[in-house]
Amino acid sequence: MNLYQRIKKDLQQGRFAPGQVLKQAELAELYDVSRIPVRDALQQLKSEGWLTGHGKRGVAVPRFDPLEVEDLYLMRMRLEPLLQNLAAPQLNAETLGRARDILDRMESDQTLAATEIGALNWEFHACLYRAAARPTLFATVEQLHRQCERYIGYQSRSLDYQDTSQREHYAILDALQRDDSDTAATLLEQHIAAAGQQLVAFLRSGSG
């Protein structure tokens, strides 16, 4: 595991308090490396929203921001159905099979941690999106997803939501399998909207 991944994991697990300012030297000592790799990792983490740059005043752990979540999900609502539609004509039995395998695994394995559920969730959608063979569009969608990542711990807390989400996943996949990409796109848009609303409501209700 490289430094970027180690710091990100610790941010995910709440090792650093929101609002806390992190110094390069602190992190270097904490992770037992020099400041050079710390700087590289920080730049990447900033570009993914895990840290915010105070310019030349070091970096800070950002607070949870409902407006940021709203924006991220609004964008995903616009871009992901587009990408899925571009992928739809290219989907073959193998890809659809792999997507279904992922859903089945999420369904059957009750021991999955929140981050693992999040990872499989994305892998399901990404598996379909990749079939579009549109690297630029995919890269932006992936980046938006990465920016959402720091919130997903909260999302998957609600088991109730997980059930709904899974049913939506199967409905999307079924629609794609019967070549009904319009329905699949609509379902996907609603799926993203629901996830966003659930998350924003949770954050606004205090726990942010």
Partner DNA sequence: CCCTATAAAAATGTATACATTTTTATAGGG
> Where along the sequence are the contacts to DNA (CB under 7 A)?
2-3, 23-25, 33-37, 39-40, 54-59
Sign of the dihedral through C-alpha 133, 44, 16, 37: positive
H helices present in the chain, as ranges: 3-12, 24-31, 35-47, 66-87, 93-108, 114-130, 135-155, 159-177, 181-202
Residue type, 2: N
Judged by CB, which is closer to DNA: 59, or 203? Answer: 59
The whole-angstrom separation of Cα 116 and Cα 99 is: 16
Picked from its own copies, DNA, none, the partner binding residue 57 (CB below 5 to 8 A depending on kind) is DNA
Residue type, 185: A
Residue type, 110: Q
| Residue 166 near residue 103 (C-beta atoms within 8 A) | yes
Min CB(48)–DNA separation in Å:
18
Q: Say whether 52 sits in a helix, a strand or coil.
A: strand
Picked from its own copies, DNA, none, the partner binding residue 56 (CB below 5 to 8 A depending on kind) is DNA
Judged by CB, which is closer to its own copies: 4, or 122? Answer: 4
Judged by CB, which is closer to DNA: 15, or 54? Answer: 54
CA 147 to chain centre: 6
Chain residues binding its own copies by CB under 8 A are 36, 39-40, 43-44, 47, 49, 65, 67-68, 71-72, 74-75, 78-79, 82, 134-137, 140, 144, 147
Min CB(24)–DNA separation in Å:
4
Q: Please give the structure tokens belonging to residue 44.
A: 């990447």
Judged by CB, which is closer to its own copies: 82, or 193? Answer: 82
Min CB(56)–DNA separation in Å:
4
Min CB(85)–its own copies separation in Å:
11
Min CB(78)–DNA separation in Å:
34
